Amino acid sequence: KNGIAITGSGSAVPSTSLENEVLTQLVETSDEWISTRTGIRQRQLALPPESLTTLATDASKQAITAAGITAADIDLILLATSTPDDLFGSACRIQAELGATKAVAFDLTAACSGFLFGLVTAAQFIRTGVYQNVLLIGADILSRWVDWQDRRTCVLFGDGAGAVILQANNSDRLLGFSLKSDGTQNHHLNLAYEGTTQQVTPDIHIPTGSYHPISMNGKEVYRFAVQKVPEVIDKALFEAHLTVDRIDWLILHQANQRIINAVADRLNIPEHKVISNVAHYGNTSAASIPLALDEAVRQGKIKPNDIIATSGFGAGLSWGAAIFQW
């Protein structure tokens, strides 16, 4: 049993919504600008006591139930996030909340590609026979790291969590994947550390401090996504020995409706096969793919044996695609 199957999914979003209209009171923007350029109409924001841990735990409980296992069965918890509640990581807290006593748990950071990178990482542990039951979570609270006075970024992001259970299976349902990184383009999208200098001794000055809010070159990120995402999906399809017409569902990282449409166009994938919920949640970073996947599963769109093409892309720069069978 060294194949992989996704056997359950779950998702959670915070309870506070923020509509475009409200943003017009904070920055010079309009509902019309935001919705025509991005497709986003509203986003959900995590306010205390909601946290990355509570959202991820809620999504995980649903995925565990859907898979018909218990938390005690889980061998590995992978939390894909760039915004843990604790810089040392949040996966262990989630392990404790779930009571997944046997599981080893750690965080994995690959920005908006985090879910994809986590999926492939989880698959390696299962394929080598090391673990049988893996909980993979994609969760982010980017609202904490946005400058709410910067109209170029504050309109784009929202908070959420999604989770899947991956299990060892007789047939391997991860049919192909491809992951990519290009650090030479890192400057286009950052949440960079910047300290203020603290004098420890007369000779030693250590920068301690915090992180800058998100800074982004929107045009470059747009150009990167529209070029690289179709390429990497083609590569994953090639690995899967499949052609594009075999795809039943395209689930891209939900950054922007225009990116989703442009990628689907380039790949000649008709609109009825494209899953999108960016209008409701904005860009939820590592959460967006499992959130969209879980909604589509619960709506009854995705059926057993359907072929799903998925791709994540974002800061790093990083991007990747996977083809899997439901």
Residues within the interface to ligand ACO (CB under 6 A): 29, 33-34, 37-38, 111-112, 151-152, 155, 189, 216, 218-219, 221-222, 255-256, 259, 283, 285, 314-315
Burial letters 21-51, b for 16+ CB under 10 A, else e = eebbeeeebebeebbebbbbbbbbbbeeebb
The Cα–Cα gap between 101 and 194 comes to 37
As measured in angstroms, the least distance from the Cβ of 56 to ligand ACO is 18
Lookup: tokens for 34 = 């935001």
Which residue of the set 92, 154, 188, 253 is catalytic? Answer: 253
Min dist CB 314 to ligand ACO, Å, is 3
- 112 is annotated as an active-site residue: yes
The SS3 of residue 80 is: strand
Considering 20, 112, 133, 277, which one is annotated as catalytic? 112
Task: Find the shortest distance in angstroms from Cβ 148 to ligand ACO.
Answer: 12
Distance of closest approach, residue 62 Cβ to ligand ACO, in angstroms: 24
User: Which lies closer to ligand ACO via its Cβ, residue 98 or residue 108?
Assistant: 108
Residue with the CB atom nearest ligand ACO in the bound state? 218
Cβ closest to ligand ACO, residue 220 vs residue 239: 220
As a whole number of angstroms, the distance between CA 250 and CA 272 comes to 10
253 is catalytic: yes
Closest of 125, 138, 158, 144 to residue 90, by C-alpha: 138
3 vs 218, beta carbon nearer ligand ACO:
218
Q: In the annotation, is 283 catalytic?
A: yes
> Which residues have a Cβ under 8 Å from the Cβ of 240 and sit 6 or more positions away?
175, 176, 323
Closest CA to 284 of 141, 186, 168, 176: 141
Q: Known catalytic residues?
A: 112, 253, 283
